[in-house]
Structure 1
Amino acid sequence: MSHDHTKVQEFFTARAADWDTRFPDDGPAYRAAIAELALRPGSSVLDAGCGTGRALPALREAVGPSGMVLGADLTPAMLEAATRAGRHHDGHLLLADVARLPLRTQTLDAVFGAGLISHLSNPEDNLRELRRVVRPGGLLALFHPIGRAALAARQGRQITPDDLRAEANLGPLLAGSGWLMTSYVDEDERFLAMATREG
């Protein structure tokens, strides 16, 4: 495991136990973002970097009992918290790195990634791996329940021009990974970039 991975694991292991109590009001924002994926009953979807699985109930509602919901995360403590919260009933939890997913090529209809983009060790490669597991025309939603400016203010920092989530940076990054960005919203109460898998 690389040094980056160890750092990401340490960061989230330390926060896993009280993660949900720190952000209790995100449910509606998650549901609204997932609604934009327009998943149909029977669809298959991956929550990449699922953490404690906060998106899994809404993803399950969207795809119904016949659909497939997967939640992949690198940090065992996060998946344990997801199980304690009962979210393993909504989706199949995988201890896996988004850089090397244990999934067959072109098997998914969509990928949902909440707060994912800032934690990718190699964004272009990682986004290409997400593309690999999605069928042509499938969707990617990169979500955060708070916009870039509001998040920076909360963390006592400024947004910098090299922020990967800036529209001018994210569009080309996605394009270089085989995704076409179709919409981009960065408001105080949410960040949501949607993309379609090309080819």
Structure 2
Amino acid sequence: MGAQEVLLRVQVTGGGSHSYPWAAFLGVAAVIGAVVLLGVIGAEDKDSSAGSPAASSTYDISSEDPYAEQTEDPYTEDPFAEDPYDSGEEAPDPYESGTCLNGTLPDSTTAQEVSGVDEVSCSASDAHYQVIQTIPLTSDMSRCDANSATQYAFSYRYTLDGATLNEYVYCLIGLGSYAR
């Protein structure tokens, strides 16, 4: 402890049936307690010299700071701030019942690439279809067969780097000249 040397001697003797192993344990615990107590007393003795002046010095390194010209801290930057797999597009919300769509859907039950189908106001002149049911987590357009009002079925799959993120089937009715 500090400049003092503490020597411990522990002797364990073998005994007959009257030997108490817990007594040896208590003896060791007492010795450890004494060492801790001496350490605390020694620490208080060091603190008692607080009245004497302590040596101190100051040193201004601002003129010698090698990082003074650095504008960004490389350790505070978020390495995940930009997702390398993010295409910049948000996954679209599914169309709700009552939503109207424009564009032209192919009259086919086989999957085909369709573009130009967007949500529009139902009073718009180019509103061609109205969603009457949305079925999530499938691309099986035959699911609309259960809705007798269905005139068109439209499947939409949103993918990112080839992985399907979500997919929906929309059961539609035609509006105006698109009505069947």
Structure of larger gyration radius? 2
Indicate the structure with greater helix content: 1
Same fold by TM (over 0.5)?
no
Normalised TM-score (structure 2): 0.21
